[in-house]
Amino acid sequence: MTELPFKLTGTVTHGRSAGRTIDMPTANIVPAEDVSNLKYGVYYSVVKVDGASYKAITNLGKRPTIDDGDFVNAESFIYDFEGDLYGRDISVTLLEFRRPEQKFESFEALSRVMHEDLEAGREYSL
């Protein structure tokens, strides 16, 4: 397994906007780095945009509840950030693993756990 912290970089792309429907918009990147030795799941993280650092929570993986695809992406909810990041390069530093990625029986069940992740991330000390 790869040691943490681990830095990912990429250009923010449009996702399915599922997070927006539950008030959790995310910045989605396809990592430029090899992530095959990282566990898929939720991480406490820091996102760097234009030299500014923001506390975040990031899911790294294949989003099994939303997609059945094969590609891996990193989607980060960035605390206290407002703005449009589409097309911009960002870095995401994964600090600590919170929980493994899993497939939920419904989007509502996923939403409940995502909100728990969001609150845990808000309390996480950098």
Judged against a pLDDT cut of 70, whether residue 68 lies above it is answered with: no
Q: What is the mean pLDDT of residues 88-113?
A: 93
* Mean pLDDT, all residues of the chain: 90
67 within 8 A of 75, measured Cβ to Cβ: no
The encoded tokens of residue 97 equal 């693993």
Query: Looking at the domain assignment, is residue 41 inside a domain?
Result: yes
Query: Looking at the domain assignment, is residue 90 inside a domain?
Result: yes
Give tens-digit pLDDT for 21-58. Answer: 557 789 999 999 999 999 999 999 999 999 999 999 99
Query: Looking at the domain assignment, is residue 19 inside a domain?
Result: yes
Of 91, 94, 32, 84, nearest to 60 (Cα)? 94
Number of domains in the chain: 1
Q: What is the pLDDT of residue 41?
A: 95
Judged against a pLDDT cut of 90, whether residue 116 lies above it is answered with: yes
pTM confidence score: 0.92
Query: Looking at the domain assignment, is residue 61 inside a domain?
Result: yes
Of 64, 56, 20, nearest to 40 (Cα)? 64
Judged against a pLDDT cut of 60, whether residue 121 lies above it is answered with: yes
Q: What is the pLDDT of residue 18?
A: 59
Judged against a pLDDT cut of 80, whether residue 61 lies above it is answered with: yes
Query: Looking at the domain assignment, is residue 17 inside a domain?
Result: yes
Residue ranges making up the domain that contains 42? 6-123
Judged against a pLDDT cut of 60, whether residue 92 lies above it is answered with: yes
The CATH number covering residue 31 comes to 2.40.30.30
Comparing 26 with 1, the larger pLDDT belongs to 26
Comparing 105 with 47, the larger pLDDT belongs to 47
